[in-house]
Amino acid sequence: MRRLLAVVFALFLLASAAAIAPARQPAQQQQPQTREQIVYATNTGKKYHLATCRYLSKSKIPMSLKDAKAKGLTACGVCKPPQ
């Protein structure tokens, strides 16, 4: 009888944990991302680039995508950063 009660109790705990776990998950997914996209510019160019772009060999100035657009820079056609 004790074993049966222990098994029933264990199943109850597992069922309770399974019911609670999905309720917590959506709350974590709803958090907005606050990270800004970082792109790179050169000293003389009029484009913004990804960090791995071949055109950044001589200068590499980091800035947010928002700032790059505000300065009138456009996306590089080679590395294709976000627009």
Q: Is residue 13 very low, low, confident or very high in pLDDT (cuts 50, 70, 90)?
A: confident
Residues 20 and 42 in one domain: no
Question: Residue 81 domain-assigned?
Answer: no
The total number of structural domains in the chain stands at: 2
Report the pLDDT value the prediction gives residue 48, as an integer from 0 to 100: 95
Question: Residue 83 domain-assigned?
Answer: no
pLDDT tens-digit profile of 15-68? Answer: 776 655 555 555 555 545 567 899 999 999 999 999 999 999 888 999 999 999
Instruction: Give the Cα separation of 53 and 44 in Å (integer).
Output: 15
pTM comes to 0.58
Residues 45 and 70 in one domain: yes
Question: Residue 27 domain-assigned?
Answer: yes
Give the range among 4-13, 14-23, 41-50, 74-83 with minimum mean pLDDT.
14-23
Residues 20 and 48 in one domain: no
Question: Residue 19 domain-assigned?
Answer: yes
Q: Which domain holds residue 51?
A: 38-75
40: left (phi over 0), alpha (psi -120 to 50) or beta: beta
Q: Are 25 and 54 in contact (CB under 8 A)?
A: no
Question: Residue 82 domain-assigned?
Answer: no
